[in-house]
Amino acid sequence: MLLGFTPLYAQQRPAKVRTAPKAVTATVPTDARQQAAFDATGYWVSLVTQNWRYRMVLPAHGDYAGIPINSRAEQFADAWNAASDVAAGKQCEVYGAPNLMQIPERLHIGWQDDDTLRVDTDAGMQRRLLHFGDDAAAAAPSLQGYSVAQWQLFNLANSFGAPDDPAAGPRHGSLVVTTDHLLPGLLRKNGVPYGAGTKMSEYWQLRTLDPDQWLTISTSVKDPEYLIGPYVYDSIFQREADGSQYDPSPCSLTS
Amino acid sequence: MKGQTLLLAGLLGAAGLVGTGVALAQVDLSGNWAAESMEDPVEHTDGGFPDMFAGIPLNEDGRQAGLTAPGDEAQELNRQCEPWPAHYLVVGPWGGRFAAVRDQAGHVIAWTLSSPAYDRLPMTIWMDGRAVPPPLSPHTYAGFSVGHWEGSTLVVHTSLLKDSYLLDNGVPSSNQETDTFFFTRFGDELTILLIVRDPVYLQAPLVLARTLRLVSGGAVVDDPILYCMPAETLAGFTDGHHSAIELPPQEAHQQAYLQGIYHLPLEATLGGAQTMYPQFEKKLQGRYHPPAKCTLYCGRDETLPIPNPIQTR
């Protein structure tokens, strides 16, 4: 009896993902939706079990614990004033991709098309688009930036170079997302900034333990302008049966 | 090995191996892994704030046990070197070291997950399919762990734990707690999802996540507490055998500390499942006003002393 396993193509957080993973042989799946390692579509709710004081309530001015900021960021945040930014119409600056998944919120995830995963949030009413196999070169900077995604598959049925057959057995894997082309924004609702050169990478994973299901996102934010090292955090979402609690609300810097 | 993931298996032709439940294939988790993600930075390093249970799905028994936790176990000589349960891998500051345990044929029959510090005992994660001992078997701080692979993720179920604390601010954990860990390696990073279930003290699972980074050839942390150094008891405070347990109500402390420094409403700090969902944020609107300025644990240029839980009570 021979048993084998697909080589795992785990890798460091990529600067940019352009190609399909090596171990996924070019066979059956023709688009990202078919190739999906897991079904992320549906409604999800944040579980704020960590960083509660920074996420669920407004942190105090000057509270930068947990974010590896440099002195320039500290100066920026010390001088930051919420009222001024609200008056300037910048209420959504803390809802940019580098911080969006930390906001207490609900997600509605669906397929925009066969190669684009759409992630909507009720808090701040933001939309992220995760593009599979696409190139960000022509994208204009935006609050959510441009996200390139790829599935990292681990198929127990796929061994010794055999064709990757989605019908052959359980499929496991993760979603790796890299994002750049970001407009400057905030990492915390007390003025901790990130700059236009910020890049972020994420590992999205689905976890099941009956009767619950969780979506976890491990995020690494790199910003040469305001951070002295990667800002790494983990977000947890729990699956909800429907969208009855999905409650769109506008961006807010003051609550 | 840095930046690479090894696949240990590929061939397991021996039918007997399959029959005995020997782990078939796995990602190599070996090495020292240090904490990288920065959730709850103060709580992970200097310790949690007494009576701060927001975001923790405590039931009423858990809340009362937490409020009456002494916070000064170090004043009991026999408890000064008491280790933490297995969940400390995620709620503590250290990370850990994975090492494979192999049989004579070289197959991985277990993983050990040790700590650089004395305060979490090494875990043995059995991969050979053995059964979990009956509930009345001895309970330990490390517990009994069995694991299996789901794709590239190591899934570990831990039970038979001792009564202890979930967090070091008094949040209790019972000997009925079970932990499920999901470990997934991405190059030099290891993501962990921990699901804690405790029918005695929690009204819902507590779900926590963390990311570790491989420290190739080095120590998990620069200056770990390698062994327990018993602390001296405070003369006049305890006799070395008893903790200064305080009975409810504890609201005075909440007022003086959490509300005074962080302006957190009592309803939030008492915890419960409702405090971990977004709608709780809306519930606090109009009832919470942030402090004008951070005065404690502010991240950069720390100048204020670490509060002593005893003194703050």
Residue A80 is assigned to a structural domain of this protein: yes
Average pLDDT rounded to a whole number, residues A187-192: 97
Task: Note whether residue A218 is domain-resident.
Answer: yes
Question: Chain B closest CA to A6's CA: distance in Å?
Answer: 8
Tell me the mean pLDDT in the region A117-146: 92
Count the domains in chain A.
Answer: 1
Residues of A in contact with B207 (CB under 8 A): 47, 49, 214, 236, 238
Tell me the pLDDT tens digit for each residue of A18-47: 333 444 444 566 899 999 999 999 999 999
Residue A7 lies in a domain: no
A contact residues 69-128, partner B, Cβ 8 Å cutoff: 69, 74, 104-106, 123
Work out the mean pLDDT of chain A and round it to a whole number. Answer: 86
Per residue in B17-33, pLDDT tens?
333 344 444 689 999 99
Nearest chain B residue to A106 by CA: give it.
B278
Interchain CB distance below 8 Å, B279 and A245: yes
Contact flag B38-A45 (C-beta cutoff 8 Å): no
Q: Is residue A18 part of a domain?
A: no
List of chain B residues whose C-beta atoms are within 8 Å of the C-beta of residue A3: 9, 11-13, 18, 24-25
Q: What is the mean pLDDT of residues A195-204?
A: 97
Chunk chain B into consecutive blocks of 10 residues (it has 313) and report each block's average pLDDT, rounded to whole numbers.
36 33 65 86 74 94 87 75 90 89 93 86 94 96 95 95 91 97 95 97 97 78 68 70 64 66 88 97 89 85 37 29
Q: Which CATH number covers residue A212? A: 2.40.128.20
Q: Which chain A residues are Cβ-neighbours of B16 within 8 angstroms?
A: none
pLDDT tops 90 at residue A3: no
pLDDT at B198: 98
Residues of B in contact with A61 (CB under 8 A): 290-294
Cα–Cα distance, A8 to A23 (Å, whole number): 7
Q: What is the ipTM score, two decimals?
A: 0.87
Write the pLDDT tens digit of every residue in B132-179: 999 999 999 999 999 999 988 999 999 999 999 999 888 999 999 999
Which of A4, A160, A172 shows the shortest C-beta gap to B153? A172
Residue A93 domain-assigned?
yes
pLDDT at B40: 82
Query: What local confidence, expressed as pLDDT, does residue B217 receive?
Result: 63
User: pLDDT digit string (tens) for B197-216?
Assistant: 999 999 999 999 999 999 87
Residue B253: its pLDDT value, please? 62
In a domain, A5, yes or no: no
Confidence at residue B266, expressed as pLDDT on a 0 to 100 scale? 86
Q: Which two tokens stand for residue B37?
A: 């993600």
Of B23, B35, B12, the C-alpha closest to B210 is B35
A184 lies in which domain range?
A: 32-152+171-240
Q: What is the pLDDT of residue B68?
A: 82
User: Is the residue at A251 inside a domain?
Assistant: no
Residue A63 counted as domain residue? yes
